[in-house]
Structure 1
Amino acid sequence: MRDQLGDALLGVLREIKCTFDPKNIFNPGKIFADDHHKIDNHLRENFTRPLELPFQPVLAFAFKDRSFIGNLEQCNGCGGCLKHTGIMCPTFMATGEEVMSTRGRANIIRAALELRANGHDPLKSEELDAALTNCLSCKGCTPECPSNVNLALLKAEMLYARWCRDGLPLRERLLSNVDLLGKIGCAMPKLANRVLGSRVARVVMEKTIGLSARRSLPHYANQRFDKWFGEHAVAGVGDPGRVSAINDRG
């Protein structure tokens, strides 16, 4: 600013600042006070050192340079996700915590990658777990964020890299085999429902696999739907027609 205005005019602006803000309340130390706050300091630590990934991304990114880092850096910190209307971000709307917003999660992922040089695990930390596991992967950030940050895609990439390295956790291993659990539950629905409704069993599940004991679990029907349908099918019906299945996971 001194190069643009000169010392004389800069001194006048400082006098105006002192007149209207004698206690230096507004933007203290940032405007006209001294030369400590310049345009080229207080920047990110890695401003001149690009982020490096400890894994090879496998997903196809649609924006920027089709890379993980390019999508991560799309978050410019505008705070559009810190609101209580619209669809982005539902976890921030529920908690009001910065870490539960799209911006907060992007900053935590960025910080985890930056701290890798200091010996920190870029794929596993308490802060990273809180940011990723509470993301609903609803993709509300993708269409509503001004920069189209796709946090669900970043989350999937980070978790996939961690699980490839450390193995699939018990909770994810169980829930990914829901068909097997269904077959076991349908084989003895009364016993399965009694176990699922037991307070002791739910506390054990909360301690071991992280399913809240306050959450009621769905019960198994006494008769499987395919067997019920076979018993109630209308005889003599011709071509039942075609059924279309839509994959909405992409």
Structure 2
Amino acid sequence: TDLADYIGDFTGIMERYGQKAVFYAHAGAGEIHLRPILNLKKEEDVILFRKISEEVAGLVKRYKGALSGEHGDGRVRAEFLPKVIGKENYELLRRIKQTWDPKGIFNPGKIVDAPPMDSSLRYEPGQTTPDYKTLLDFSRDGGILRHVEKCNGSGDCRKLPTAGGTMCPSYHATRTEMHTTRARANALREILSQPQDPLRPFDSEALKEVLDLCLSCKACASECPSTVDMAALKAEVMYQYQLNHGYSLRNRLFAGSHELYRLGRVARPLANALMTNPLAASVLKKAAGIHPRRSLPPIPKETWRGWFNNGGNDPAGEKEVYLFCDEFTNYTDPAPGIA
């Protein structure tokens, strides 16, 4: 009955402040996530943020509950620990922290000596949201910046492969925050919120670097709880960046690979000799930005289309099969297409 009574009392707090909340729960364990719908860009909502938090902390204490369930108290809730667990217990926590971490190196301010919960917010009250003209359509979210702001920092993109799903492959490889969807969203939000050059907001080498290892696999579009589509965001950022800087030689080589292989077929023995010669291959790899340990695919004697047009289309059965032949199947590896 405590859970139902607590939710009723919480709803009463919301009604008193004229607010609504999103309810999410592990009800069997008596754990609930209650999220008031506040816009922290508005000064009045920042004030409500504190008032509601203070009252809810008192409510949790009254029901002898825990502020954070199995989660960390963090910067949002740690301020209220003395109120919930009592000053004597809080002083014990401080003594433990001082004993084992006298210099405050490990996660300072997350449990003891926390800063006010309404300080260091992402947005300053009254901060405007710039509107940007983009090639891709982000109007469903109110523009590209609004789409980026959907990231709530939950960190689901930091999950390991053993947890299931694909997001985020670059983090799986490097295990560094910089290569998470969250880091990319944070960097893009900060740069677009306060651009150094309002006329060229996407012109940032730092942003280009943090997006570099994004594979554009779109796993985040379906696995991120906020459906942040980093593949679309990266495509837009790179498009805007290249409007000012042009296309690099590497991008031109990969974008035009089908033309290069078509030309290479004119002198196939020479092209293959160059790609297998260590010195020539190293020059080509350096120009194209390819890792030295990667091999360059040789040009086969016959393309897939050549095989198909020379009678390779003899049907083996009555059913039709539609094969979409890309440049790689056609020019560098026709065997899978033939099979």
Measured against aligned partners, the alpha-carbon deviations of 1:4-40 in whole angstroms (never above 9, x if no partner) come to 67xxx9599323311354244597556675xx72232
- As a proportion of its length, which structure holds more helix? 2
Residue identity matched to 1:232: G
Choose from 225, 232, 237 the match for 1:158: 237
Q: How does 1:98-137 map to 2 (within 5 A)?
A: 98-114=177-193, 116-117=195-196, 122-137=201-216
Residue identity matched to 2:86: L
- Which segment drifts farther, 137-146 or 161-170? 161-170
Matched with 1:64 is 141
Matched with 1:185 is 264
Q: 1:234 to 1:50 in 2, by over 3 A?
A: closer
Contact conserved, 2:272 with 2:298, CA < 8 A, in 1?
yes
1:72 Cα deviation from its structure 2 partner: 0.5
- Which segment drifts farther, 162-171 or 44-53? 44-53
Matched with 1:205 is 284
Contact conserved, 1:142 with 1:151, CA < 8 A, in 2?
yes
In the alignment, structure 1 segments of 5+ residues that lack a partner are none
Residue identity matched to 1:18: E
Q: 1:196 to 1:74 in 2, by over 3 A?
A: same
Choose from 39, 44, 62 the match for 2:117: 39
1:78 Cα deviation from its structure 2 partner: 0.4
Question: Number of aligned pairs?
Answer: 238
Matched with 2:154 is 78
The answer to whether the aligner puts 1:215 opposite 2:288 as a matched pair is no
User: Alpha carbon RMSD of aligned pairs, Å?
Assistant: 3.7
Distance 1:94 1:27 in 2: 25
1:124 Cα deviation from its structure 2 partner: 4.1
1:59 Cα deviation from its structure 2 partner: 0.8
Distance 1:224 1:12 in 2: 73
Give TM-score, length-normalised by structure 1.
0.78
Give TM-score, length-normalised by structure 2.
0.59
Contact conserved, 1:82 with 1:101, CA < 8 A, in 2?
yes
1:68 Cα deviation from its structure 2 partner: 0.6
Higher relative contact order (CA 8 A, sep 6+): 1
Secondary structure of 1:215's aligned partner: coil
Secondary structure of 2:157's aligned partner: coil
Distance 2:184 2:192 in 1: 13
Residue identity matched to 1:61: F
Contact conserved, 1:135 with 1:152, CA < 8 A, in 2?
yes
Secondary structure of 1:123's aligned partner: coil
Distance 1:131 1:92 in 2: 12
